[in-house]
Amino acid sequence: MERGHHTRNEIFCQPEAWANALDMVEQARTGLTQIFNADYDQVLFTGCGSTYYLSLAAAALYQQMTGKLARAVPGGELLLNPETAVGQVSDLSRNTLLVAVSRSGSTTETVRAVEQFKKQNHGPVIAITNYGDQPLAGLADLPLVIQKGQEQSVAQTRSFASMYVAATAMTMLAAGAENLRGEMNQLPDAGAKLLARYEPVAREFGENLDFDRFYFLGSGARYGLACEVNLKMKEMTLTHSEPFHFLEFRHGPMSMVSENAVVVGLLSEKNSSHEQAVLYEMQALGGQVLSLAESGARVAFGSGLPESARNVLHLPVLQLMAYYRSMAKGLNPDSPNNLTSVIYLDI
């Protein structure tokens, strides 16, 4: 099999997995509605690695859309330090909804954390995964299984995006935003058009090996996505890469900006002027800037979708950029250095 074949295919075929994610949420509508109708003190999202970053993005969006307390915690922290996430074991009055995310459904920390959570009777569990025959789906009160997000590559692309679409659609149901949930059906077509239009941009930035560092900026519901595309750059290309909130980048990290640095901005609507100002400053320092937004950016989605429903569109072009850089460096993005698809631990 040609080097990088699986990663490229999984990036380009992901809109089909997005459609599958939307279908799965729709099929689970009744069960999800019953869970969301209950009153919770907090909603926790958990995962490991990529799916922890997904949890960061999903929790921010959930709190924004529903007005209810939501936050993300790594699976290992939920397992080893539950008192910092849920509260004391004896505090059973703290009613919590747990959303556990895992591509494989068998990551040790996440599975053990869910087992412990259920044993302590804190509340129901929703699982978002790509494999329904693994332990996590069996532990959940309601599993959302997106089979078309399954991958052969180690680094998550299609799987991450499909599970994020499911988390977004689920959030729309929780918020009672039926109009936004309906508009999300346009996402697969928007994603396919985006990849076709901006593949040359992804290739231009990815194949330029004069660049030696990448910074991904995102705030609000986009910070977790900035973390994820940063991880793709690290995993696939073994390149120095870091994520930051936009305004935080001025507080020290911008000292690293030079003509060899790429600063990628995942722009919002509400704070676009403040975020663009950061990018202009980094450009003035000699950095190369790549902006992504619905309009007025180097990568312009042109989707016509509301911001809360379209955030997944920040991912494909940046995933493809990492793929092209990996290939240009002679690496194999299908099988990154030192990594495996699932982490099993003796815990």
Model pLDDT, residue 345 = 58
pLDDT reading at 90 higher than 50: no
Model pLDDT, residue 83 = 85
Q: Where are the domains of the chain?
A: 5-185, 186-328
Model pLDDT, residue 347 = 73
pLDDT reading at 76 higher than 70: yes
pLDDT reading at 89 higher than 50: no
Q: Please compute the mean of the pLDDT values over residues 255-283 and round it to a whole number.
A: 97
At 284-307, the pLDDT tens digits run: 999 999 999 999 999 999 999 999
Of residues 228, 229, 218, the one with CA closest to residue 325: 229
Confidence of residue 94 (pLDDT cuts 50, 70, 90): low
Q: Please compute the mean of the pLDDT values over residues 158-169 and round it to a whole number.
A: 98
Model pLDDT, residue 222 = 98
Q: How far apart are CA 213 and CA 308, in angstroms?
A: 29
> Residue 284 has which token pair?
């003035």
pTM equals 0.95
β-partners of residue 216 are: 243, 264
Model pLDDT, residue 197 = 98
Q: Can you say whether residue 105 is alpha, beta or left, with left for phi > 0 and alpha for psi between -120 and 50 degrees?
A: left
pLDDT reading at 63 higher than 90: yes
At 16-53, the pLDDT tens digits run: 999 999 999 999 999 999 999 998 989 999 999 999 99
In order of 230, 287, 305, the CA distances from 191 in angstroms are 20, 28, 12
pLDDT above 70 covers what percent of the chain?
Answer: 95
CATH of domain 186-328: 3.40.50.10490
pLDDT higher for 233 or 347? 233
What is the second-level CATH architecture of the domain 5-185? 3-Layer(aba) Sandwich (3.40)
Residues ≥6 apart with Cβ < 8 Å to 113: 46, 75, 76, 78, 79, 82, 100
In order of 30, 35, 71, 88, 164, the CA distances from 68 in angstroms are 21, 14, 10, 21, 19
The dihedral built from the CA positions of residue 281, 286, 291 and 297, taken in this order, carries a sign that is positive
144 touches 131 (CB < 8 A): no
- What's the full length of the chain, in residues? 347
